[in-house]
A and B are shown apart, each in its own frame.
Chain A
Amino acid sequence: EPEVTQTPSHQVTQMGQEVILRCVPISNHLYFYWYRQILGQKVEFLVSFYNNEISEKSEIFDDQFSVERPDGSNFTLKIRSTKLEDSAMYFCASKVAVGPGEQYFGPGTRLTVT
């Protein structure tokens, strides 16, 4: 069964460093998402992406964050200068088409900022 994959599974970085989290969505899906979950808290929407542009972004997704689909398969989330509060589990998700439907989530990348 097709699945969303994410790399790395765990990333440790120092405050102020740039990190890139990588995702490979399901191949025929058109909508892509990033969410994050701080330990013990609810899953929060960061950004949605369709047709090579951002569809919607949350207040969390400030100028330190960017997303890119550099080729036909990868979808990346970049944090330019990480802060301690960026420590969280980051989930990528994809959906096949517009309209109501299931979002398929990847296993997540645990980001630890020290």
Chain B
Amino acid sequence: SQQGEEDPQALSIQEGENATMNCSYKTSINNLQWYRQNSGRGLVHLILIRSNEREKHSGRLRVTLDTSKKSSSLLITASRAADTASYFCATDANDYKLSFGAGTTVTVRA
């Protein structure tokens, strides 16, 4: 299966703390993307990392990719209440579709 699988399934942290979630996948990819979904809403693209990249930053987000281990991590630094959402990794193998994982639900406590 191409799908990513996130770990942990759920994460509860205090505002200001960092949140780290991981994604593993099974086959070769062109790129890996992270999306955020607020409850009952659409998916918002956060960051894309290509297969030849190892790390990427965007604001408070840091993504790493280890293609030898077929895994990626998303770090959110200095979390805020507004970061409360579900986070999904999605693998892109052929530019025709994204394969999503089950997601990590992050709750940031004030």
Chain B contact residues, CB within 8 Å of chain A: 3, 30-31, 33, 35, 41-45, 48, 50, 88, 90, 92, 94-103
| A91 contact from B33, B43, B97, Cβ within 8 A | B43
Which stretch of A11-19, A64-72, A79-87, A97-105 is in the interface? A97-105
Min Cβ gap B82→A in Å is: 18
Interface centre among A42, A99, A105, A108 (most CB of B within 10 A): A42
Tell me whether B92 and A100 are in contact (CB under 8 A): yes
Counted as pairs of residues, one from A and one from B, with CB atoms less than 8 Å apart, the total is 57
Name the CB-closest residue of A to B33. A102
Chain A contact residues, CB within 8 Å of chain B: 33, 35, 41-45, 48, 55-56, 58, 91, 93, 98-108
Tell me whether A42 and B42 are in contact (CB under 8 A): no
